[in-house]
Every structure is written in structure tokens, then in C-alpha cells.
Amino acid sequence: MNGRDETEVERADRNWSELIQELRVAQTGIQVLAGFLLTLPFSQRFAEISDLHRVEYLVAFSLAVLTIGLMTAPVSLHRVLFAKHEKQTLVRVGAFFAKTGLASLGLTLVSVVVLIFGVVVDDTAGFVAGGLVFVFYALGWVVLPLVLLHRSEPS
């Protein structure tokens, strides 16, 4: 038991509200990042970047678009399932989209770091910086939560 005095419907409502709050935090950042990426091809210096940097840009932009789609999918699901008494399904599927969206967000940020460091410093610096960011997110977003979850489970 979770120590709460709530019905299954109340629990689903609470879980949905928490999920939406989490998505709001992440969504603003990725939308700003995608907006920034949208402007890059229209800058004068963009024409001077290497083919590798163009590929890195397209990867970063594609991941940003994918992330926005994943992070907004629960809203679309809610519109379809609203008032159909499918809140538990909505929470379960919405949580899947949120987790997948966070993974995509992490990869988006890694790819942006690779691109920016590659253009500003050099390609080696880009890949090193991207690798460090990847390790940071892997540890902070995956390993640490799993360790904490394992510690909180009864033996």
C-alpha cells in the first residue's frame, strides 16, 4: 500500500496531474531549444559549416521535433480518452511517452552540445563534450533514480 487513503480513480487523477506538471517543466525548454534550432539555417554563418556539422544539425533538429511530439502525445491522448473512464490507461501510456520523451530530450541536448562545441572549437571537442553530457544525463536521469528505487524497495 502507498499510505494514501484514496480510491483508484483518485490515484489515477493524482498521477495524471503529476505527469502533466512534469511535462510542463520539460516542454518549455525543448520548445525554446527547437525554436533556436529553427533559426540556425537562416543565419549567415550556417552556409559556412561543414557537411558533418550539417548532419549534426539535422540530427539535433530531428530529435527536438521528435521530443516535442513525445512530450505532447499525452495531451492528444487525453483529448481522445477524456471522459471515457480510461484514466489509468491514460496515465500508463502517458508515462511511457514522458519517459521516451525524456530520453529523446537527453539525446537532443547531447547532439546540440556536439554541434555547438564542434562548430565553436573543433569536432574532437564536440564529441568529448557530447560524451560528457551523455554520461551526466545517463547517471542523473537513469542510474541515480534506479539506485534510489532499489534502495526504497523492501528487502
pTM recorded for the entire structure: 0.85
The C-alpha angle 85, 88, 94, rounded to 5 degrees, equals: 115
Instruction: Give the C-alpha separation, 81 to 111, whole Å.
Output: 35
> Whose CA is closest to 70, among 35, 110, 31, 41?
31
> What are the extents of the domains in the chain?
8-152
Residue position matching grid coordinates 490515484: 11
| 3-state secondary structure (DSSP) of residue 7 | coil
Best CA proximity match to 131, nearest among 118, 144, 143, 120: 118
Contact between 36 and 70 (Cβ < 8 Å):
no
Q: What is the pLDDT along the chain (155 residues), one digit of tens a residue?
A: 456 788 888 888 898 889 888 888 888 888 899 888 999 999 988 999 999 999 999 999 999 999 999 999 998 888 888 778 888 889 999 999 999 999 999 999 999 999 999 999 999 999 999 999 999 999 999 999 999 999 987 76
Q: How far apart are CA 125 and CA 143, in angstroms?
A: 25
